[in-house]
Homo-oligomer: A and B are copies of this chain.
Amino acid sequence: MKTPSDKRPIGIFDSGVGGLTVLKEVIKKLPSENIIYLGDTARVPYGARSPEIIMKYSLECAQFLLSRGIKLLVVACNTSSSISLPGLAQDLPVPVVGVVEPGARAAVAKSRSKKIAVIGTETTIKSGSYKRAIKAIDYSIDVMGLACPLFVPLVEEGWIRGNIVSLTAQKYLSPLKKFGADVLILGCTHYPIIKRVIREVAETNLIDSAAETAKEVKCILEESKVLRLDNSKPEREFFVTDSPKKFIQIGEMFLGQKISNISGINVGDLK
């Protein structure tokens, strides 16, 4: 019997524009899928907030996407994946994929020295999520976490090369050399935009969770036999909780293509 085509969209949410680096990879791997992206721009950034607030906001985003009939949820925000993934995976009636575990798996596969470093927001690093995910695969691996809170505002300001971002990277990444990591995980979706600067300073292999996450999404849809097999043009819809204007402006740098079909929604409607 032929597998039927499942046109229900994939839902992706992030605190803002960062998750578009994940969306980009999902589109590459699954070009036929319908996708809804939600950026919670009225409350971005999540990176320095408390776990309780992040859980609350993440659940609201997830419920908005669920109400639109998604078949799978991608939590495309490292902070939210670190804090809210177990809760969401348990409560929601669809598969939930975060960015932490795919990134951790790829890092373990790549490391020879058994020393892996992770950079991310304050809350992601404090949560210890990458460390747990790596240790669950290979307990003998040493993990160092470094919070780099200024990278996100630097990227959003567009200062992605030059001496200020380089000096900032040097300051944040100086403990790396002594630690001796041969793999560095970019544990925040904004960081791939300044990958070149980070690589120059860190002088090590980089892992970008976005591509790994997209692979996992494809794998789950295939296994569950819920791929969209239709060859007609897929629908891509964007929602943001603050004005779409600024999202489009920065977002196109992240996505590498034009953003259309975007609507502003009231943050109060996320409940």
Contacts and interface: CB of A to CB of B under 8 A. Distances in A.
A153 B149 contact: yes
Interface in A213-245: 241-243, 245
A154 interface: yes
- Please state the number of chain copies in the assembly: 2
A92 interface: no
A264 to B, nearest CB: 8
A108 B154 CA distance: 33
A246 B164 contact: no
A118 B156 CA distance: 22
A157 B147 CA distance: 11
A248 interface: no
Interface size class of A (residues with CB under 8 A): 20 to 34
B167 A52 contact: no
Contact of A42 (B49, B157, B242): B49
Contacts of A243: 50, 52-53
B167 A157 contact: no
Interface of A: 41-43, 48-50, 52-53, 149-150, 152-154, 156-157, 159, 163-164, 167-168, 171, 241-243, 245-246, 267-268, 271
Given A53-B267, A150-B153, 18 more contacts: A41-B49, A42-B49, A43-B43, A48-B156, A48-B246, A49-B242, A50-B243, A50-B245, A53-B241, A149-B157, A150-B150, A150-B157, A150-B159, A152-B153, A153-B153, A164-B164, A164-B171, A268-B271
